[in-house]
Homo-oligomer: A and B are copies of this chain.
Amino acid sequence: MTKRGEFDLIAQSLAPLSDAAHGLGLTDDAALFAPQPGHTAVLSTDTLVAGVHFLLEDSPGDIARKALRVNLSDIAAMGAVPRGYLLNLSLSPEVTDDWMDSFVAGLAADQAVFGVTLFGGDTVRTPGPLTVSVTAIGEVRVGRAITRSGAHVGDTIFVTGTIGDAAAGLRLLTGKDVLGTADAAFVCDRYRVPQPRTTIGPRLVGLAHAAIDVSDGLIADLNHICDTSSVGATVRARDVPLSFAGRDAIKRGLFTLSDAVTGGDDYELLFCARPEAGDALKRLVSSFDVPITAIGEITAGQGVSLIDDDGNAIALERTGHNHF
């Protein structure tokens, strides 16, 4: 690809992802986003580097979807509805036209799933690894965003979906084979393409006192809530929701609960609410295909304890997933 021509081609391939009202056809200096009256814009941004945050052999479409989805997950954790995103691409020498086409197709597919459009961005060349930054933009009523700082002593701790699948998937993908074929496909998919809880998140406004999405690991992210809210937490090991694949891997001794709660990349919503909220959540769950499980309580003090059936603390080898 020639140099200037290359960027024209990229602009052409991205233009169908944008809408005129926000992206101005991607021909202008900036994008526009007017939240609905009484709403605030919510902005989340994450940078993913090839070889650090995703695997080089992942499909371009999966890379695109992961970059978008991890940010949609952050928007959901604030209780906000996603509307659009900005895309900063630093393209490495090995990126081809075909790669770019697949990447754009991945974005197009997810735009339809999540009801977002491309508002704008910037594409440059880098001599380094492919780097993708997405800035997701959503909206929530002014004053109603769910933050990390509102957890109260006595709150019940809830989590959506199942925990540990992505960690098992990553182990599998990096050559530490722990599962049979069917389960393997499931957990690898959970690692490669997170399922941000964008419909549940906004429904938690008014119910959840504090929320976060699980990216560093269940224990580490609960620690973030505890630090910011100046509280502690107890998590009952037996109540941590596991998938069939995760449960099977643990039963066979190939994977531990400790791996599951510290593995990260779950992109489930972890939130704190009054114990009575459980009834409202049950009604909520009935309209979604995703379980919501009570896993513990917010306590006075600080730090997170994982406890067994006898109430004894379980030692963890590490507290959270570190991408480095």
Contact pick for A228, options B4, B27, B43, CB 8 Å? B27
A32 in contact (CB, < 8 A): yes
Contact pick for A30, options B28, B29, B42, B86, CB 8 Å? B42
Stretch of A105-113, A143-151, A154-162, A274-282 lying at the B interface: A143-151
A44 in contact (CB, < 8 A): yes
Contact pick for A74, options B29, B43, B77, B323, CB 8 Å? B29
A128→B142 CA distance, assembly (Å)? 40
A52 in contact (CB, < 8 A): yes
* Min CB gap A165→B, angstroms: 21
Contact pick for A90, options B47, B74, B122, CB 8 Å? B47
* Min CB gap A18→B, angstroms: 13
Instruction: Report the contact-size class of chain A (Cβ under 8 Å from the partner).
Output: 35 or more
* Min CB gap A120→B, angstroms: 6
With a cutoff of 8 Å between Cβ atoms, the chain B residues found around residue A24 in the complex are: 147-149
By the criterion CB–CB under 8 Å, are A124 and B42 in contact? no
Stretch of A131-139, A249-257, A294-302 lying at the B interface: A131-139
With a cutoff of 8 Å between Cβ atoms, the chain B residues found around residue A265 in the complex are: none
* Min CB gap A31→B, angstroms: 5
By the criterion CB–CB under 8 Å, are B133 and A122 in contact? yes
Of all chain B residues, the one with the shortest Cβ separation from A86 is B45
Contact pick for A128, options B77, B80, B127, CB 8 Å? B127
A12 in contact (CB, < 8 A): no
